[in-house]
Amino acid sequence: MSDPIRLLLADDQALVRGALVALLSLEDDLDVVAEVSSGTEVLDQVKAQRVDVALLDIEMPGRDGIDAARDIAASGLPCRSLVVTTFGRPGYLRRALDAGASGFVVKDTPADQLAEAVRSVHAGRRVIDPSLAEESLVSGSNPLTDRERDVLRAALDGHAVKELAARLSLSPGTVRNHLSSAIGKTHTANRTEAALKARENGWL
Mean pLDDT of 161-183: 89
- Give the residue from 116, 138, 160 where a domain finishes: 138
Residues 74 and 94 in one domain: yes
Residues 81 and 12 in one domain: yes
Q: How confident is the model at residue 136 (pLDDT cuts 50, 70, 90)?
A: low
Provide the CATH number for the domain around residue 24.
3.40.50.2300
pLDDT value of position 85: 85
Residues 156 and 108 in one domain: no
- Give the residue from 106, 138, 170 where a domain finishes: 138
Residue 81 has pLDDT above 90, yes or no: yes
Residue 165 has pLDDT above 60, yes or no: yes
Mean pLDDT of the chain: 88
pLDDT per position as a tens digit, 18-37: 999 999 999 999 999 999 99
Residues 81 and 26 in one domain: yes
Distance CA 204, CA 197 (A): 10
Mean pLDDT of 43-63: 94
Residues 100 and 126 in one domain: yes
Of 109 and 202, which is predicted with more confidence? 109
Residues 109 and 24 in one domain: yes
Residue 184 has pLDDT above 90, yes or no: no
Provide the percentage of residues in the chain whose pLDDT is more than 70: 93
Of 200 and 55, which is predicted with more confidence? 55
Residue 85 neighbours by CB under 8 Å, 6+ apart:
57, 58, 59, 65, 92, 104, 106, 107
Instruction: Please state whether the predicted TM-score (pTM) of the whole model is above 0.75.
Output: no
Which residues on adjacent β-strands are paired with residue 30? Answer: 5
Question: How many domains, the chain?
Answer: 2
pLDDT per position as a tens digit, 84-103: 988 767 678 888 888 999 99
Provide the CATH number for the domain around residue 180.
1.10.10.10
Residues 190 and 151 in one domain: yes
Secondary structure element (H or E) that encloses residue 7, with its range: strand 5-10
Distance CA 73, CA 66 (A): 11
- Give the residue from 103, 138, 173 where a domain finishes: 138
Burial 127-161 (b: 16+ CB within 10 A, else e): bbbeebeeebeebeebebeebbbbbbbbbeeeeeb
Residues 74 and 44 in one domain: yes
Closest by CA to 30, choosing from 40, 20, 38, 39, is 20
Residue 1 has pLDDT above 70, yes or no: no
Residues 82 and 151 in one domain: no
Residue 137 has pLDDT above 60, yes or no: no
Of 204 and 154, which is predicted with more confidence? 154
Residues 173 and 157 in one domain: yes
* Structural domain range at position 59: 5-138
